[in-house]
């Protein structure tokens, strides 16, 4: 097996917008067991019917398998989610990864529903030469510049590697630092030539000559060797150079800093000794129904586990392999508890406040079953106290400068949380700690508002507007997996945890506890930061 990178180019898209051109985005879907699931999506390119996307898709390639892919193009309206309105769909195409590998550059027409052609729209997938994007010159104001960096391929073609953000109305732009993997930047060949194009700045479509007037090579090796200095290049417009005898440049682009970073993988941290501590928090509010009634979500059926137990066992059995002592914290919220039967939103279900841990997942199951007859289901559904408690525990361990312990909090609830503002605040605070939060919605309630806590559709913010440092929440309704295997639920809710672990320790610049085991796979190899101004 090997990894293959794919890039998309779309030409002659349908124009769905009345006043402007479409704002296209491509999503890539993979087929597994007959079901299509989203793998990734490109950036959105504003008002363009012939977009060239910078995003590269990394897909594991297996010669011995038929790997079906589907590319779908959508017109995005603001924060409108992809695929929820038929008139956003601009066309799609199905193929196999083998076709792309064999053809290197696959061009296919886009199809609408029922096999109808989307006019003359086509999509190009592979590693083709990237044609320059044609831009309309800005004749009425200052330029809106952005920078494009290209890799020169062995066959002499150009491959778009990165496109910076657009800086509006500015003749002296300073772009944000960015990261790009060496495999994308230069195919891990530090002697490979690079090229860049500056669009919309100073002179329209001016060419930034990273090849030093085309005769001198500029490579990653050269940039790294010059990283202690501020390297600059003339920004040259070829047309001006031909017409004006004393023309030198239209400005200067400066590379202010460049660093090579070793990026560790989730496996590096786990094999280095990082322990995953698992905590479950269970909703005991009255909306679950009387546990003695067979209609209750907490009803204990001797022949079949309820939804709470199914979710707990599915996720817990995966996590327990990464905790050496196999002891897990089990908490409850929303119930009146003995001896005074006051409402608590943070109590140990084994009723031992000094030690809330249970032996293995089976111990958690037994504590859950034993506590049900002893409590009174009540409310409201407040989860911020437990999130704050686990975050505080993780924060104490976060002061230790090693990658020894990471926390996963599984919250099982039958409805939308009541303390949404406090929960958002608690999650923002928790995003700075070694903690991931999984929320599973049990039952048939409307969980639409819970999607706010999952950062997939936008950055979660506190009530005061502070964004999370990193996306640490994954929300899944259990009903979507009622007929699926427990492994399918566990795979879905735990899919983002490895990335979240790496993000936390990378942000803190903490290496695995046992370094020196050799490099990570190429797709996770060093990143090059290239701030430019």
Report pLDDT for 522.
32
Report pLDDT for 198.
75
The proportion of the chain whose per-residue pLDDT surpasses 70, expressed as a percent, equals 81
Q: Is 407 within 8 Å of 390 (Cβ atoms)?
A: yes
Average pLDDT of the segment spanning 391-414: 89
Query: SS3 of 153, please?
Result: coil
307-319 and 360-371 helices cross at what angle (nearest 10)? 150
Residue 323 scores a pLDDT above 90: no
DSSP string, 193-207: BEEEEEESBSBTT-E
Q: Is the dihedral of CA 347, 352, 354, 357 positive or negative?
A: negative
Report pLDDT for 10.
61
pLDDT bin (cut points 50, 70, 90) of residue 243 is confident
Report pLDDT for 86.
52
Q: Mean pLDDT in the chain? A: 80
pLDDT bin (cut points 50, 70, 90) of residue 376 is very high
Average pLDDT of the segment spanning 231-243: 76
Distance, CA of 211 to CA of 3 (rounded, Å): 30
| Residue range 496-510, pLDDT digits in tens | 899 999 999 999 989
Residue 441, strand partner residues: 413, 477
Residue 308: closest CA among 243, 245, 365, 250:
365
| Residue range 509-529, pLDDT digits in tens | 899 986 434 333 333 333 333
The residue among 96 and 330 whose pLDDT is bigger is 330
pLDDT bin (cut points 50, 70, 90) of residue 438 is very high
The residue among 493 and 399 whose pLDDT is bigger is 493
pLDDT bin (cut points 50, 70, 90) of residue 11 is low
Residue 300 scores a pLDDT above 60: yes
Report pLDDT for 513.
87
pLDDT bin (cut points 50, 70, 90) of residue 151 is confident
Distance, CA of 523 to CA of 528 (rounded, Å): 13
The residue among 204 and 379 whose pLDDT is bigger is 379
Average pLDDT of the segment spanning 270-284: 92
Q: Is 430 within 8 Å of 394 (Cβ atoms)?
A: yes
Report pLDDT for 172.
82
Report pLDDT for 125.
86
The residue among 181 and 87 whose pLDDT is bigger is 181
Distance, CA of 310 to CA of 128 (rounded, Å): 48
The residue among 141 and 20 whose pLDDT is bigger is 20
What values do phi and psi take at 215, rounded to 5?
-95, -25
Residue 280 scores a pLDDT above 90: yes
Report pLDDT for 164.
86
Least reliable range by pLDDT among 176-190, 345-359, 424-438: 176-190
pLDDT bin (cut points 50, 70, 90) of residue 135 is very low
Least reliable range by pLDDT among 25-34, 133-142, 313-322, 366-375: 133-142
Least reliable range by pLDDT among 16-20, 258-262, 413-417: 16-20
Least reliable range by pLDDT among 186-190, 356-360, 393-397: 186-190
Name, in order, each residue with C-beta under 8 angstroms of 116's C-beta and a sequence gap of 6 or more: none
Residue 18 scores a pLDDT above 70: no
| Residue range 441-481, pLDDT digits in tens | 999 988 888 888 887 667 899 999 999 999 999 999 999 98
| Strands (E) located in 365-471 | 376-377, 405-413, 435-441
Q: Is 197 within 8 Å of 151 (Cβ atoms)?
A: no
Residue 133 scores a pLDDT above 70: no
Report pLDDT for 516.
38
Least reliable range by pLDDT among 69-83, 304-318, 352-366, 488-502: 69-83
Report pLDDT for 7.
60
Residue 175 scores a pLDDT above 80: yes
Q: Which of 219-228, 231-240, 336-345 has the highest mean pLDDT?
A: 336-345
Report pLDDT for 435.
96
Report pLDDT for 144.
73
| Residue range 62-117, pLDDT digits in tens | 765 778 899 999 888 765 555 555 558 889 999 888 778 767 678 899 988 777 88
For the entire predicted model, the pTM comes to 0.57
Average pLDDT of the segment spanning 259-275: 83
Distance, CA of 127 to CA of 98 (rounded, Å): 14
Report pLDDT for 279.
95
pLDDT bin (cut points 50, 70, 90) of residue 320 is confident
Average pLDDT of the segment spanning 162-186: 83
Report pLDDT for 224.
66
Q: Is 126 within 8 Å of 42 (Cβ atoms)?
A: no
Average pLDDT of the segment spanning 262-274: 84
Name, in order, each residue with C-beta under 8 angstroms of 375's C-beta and a sequence gap of 6 or more: 284, 332, 335, 336, 337, 338
């Amino acid at each position: 097996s090997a990894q293959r990178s794919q890039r998309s180019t779309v030409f002659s898209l349908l124009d769905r917008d009345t006043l402007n051109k479409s704002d296209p985005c491509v999503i890539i879907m993979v087929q597994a067991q007959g079901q299509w699931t989203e793998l990734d999506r490109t950036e959105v390119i504003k008002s363009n019917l012939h977009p060239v996307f910078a995003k590269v898709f990394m897909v594991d390639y297996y010669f011995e398998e038929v790997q079906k892919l589907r590319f779908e193009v959508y017109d995005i309206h603001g924060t409108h989610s992809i695929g929820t309105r038929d008139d956003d769909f601009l066309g799609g195409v199905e193929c196999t990864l083998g076709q792309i590998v064999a053809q290197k550059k696959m061009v296919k027409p886009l199809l609408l529903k029922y096999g109808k052609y989307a006019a003359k729209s086509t999509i190009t997938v592979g590693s083709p030469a990237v044609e320059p994007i044609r831009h309309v010159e800005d004749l009425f104001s200052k330029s809106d510049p952005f920078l494009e960096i290209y890799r020169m391929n062995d066959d002499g073609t150009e491959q778009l590697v990165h496109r910076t953000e657009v800086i509006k109305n500015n003749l002296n732009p300073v772009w944000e630092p960015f990261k790009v993997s060496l495999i994308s930047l230069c195919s891990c060949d530090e002697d490979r030539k690079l090229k860049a194009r500056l669009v919309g700045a100073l002179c329209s479509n001016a060419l930034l000559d990273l090849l030093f007037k085309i005769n001198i090579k500029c490579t990653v090796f050269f940039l790294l060797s010059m990283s202690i200095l501020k390297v600059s290049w003339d920004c040259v417009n070829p047309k001006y150079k031909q017409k004006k005898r004393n023309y030198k440049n239209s400005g200067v682009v400066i590379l202010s800093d460049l660093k090579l970073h070793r990026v560790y993988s989730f496996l590096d941290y786990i094999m280095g000794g990082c322990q995953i501590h698992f905590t479950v928090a269970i909703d005991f509010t009255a909306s679950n129904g009387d546990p003695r009634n067979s209609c209750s979500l907490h009803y204990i059926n001797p022949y079949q586990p309820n939804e709470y137990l199914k979710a707990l066992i599915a996720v817990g059995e995966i996590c327990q392999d990464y905790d050496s002592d196999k002891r897990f914290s089990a908490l409850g919220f929303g119930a009146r508890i003995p001896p005074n039967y006051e409402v608590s939103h943070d109590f140990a279900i084994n009723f031992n406040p000094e030690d809330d841990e249970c032996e293995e997942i089976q111990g958690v199951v037994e504590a859950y079953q034993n506590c049900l007859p002893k409590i009174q289901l009540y409310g409201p559904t407040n989860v911020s106290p437990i999130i704050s408690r686990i975050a505080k525990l993780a924060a104490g361990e976060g002061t230790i400068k090693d990658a020894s312990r990471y926390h996963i909090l599984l919250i099982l609830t039958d409805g939308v949380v009541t303390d949404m503002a406090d929960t958002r605040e608690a999650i923002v605070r928790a995003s700075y700690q070694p903690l991931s939060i999984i929320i599973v919605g049990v039952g048939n309630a409307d969980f639409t508002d819970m999607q706010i806590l999952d950062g997939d559709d936008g950055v979660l913010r506190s009530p005061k507007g502070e964004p999370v440092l990193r996306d640490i929440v994954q929300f899944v309704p259990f009903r979507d997996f009622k007929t699926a295997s427990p492994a399918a639920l566990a795979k879905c809710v735990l899919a983002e945890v490895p990335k979240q672990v790496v993000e936390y320790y990378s942000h803190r610049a903490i290496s695995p506890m046992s370094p020196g085991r050799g490099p990570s796979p190429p797709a996770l190899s060093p990143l090059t930061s290239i701030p430019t101004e």
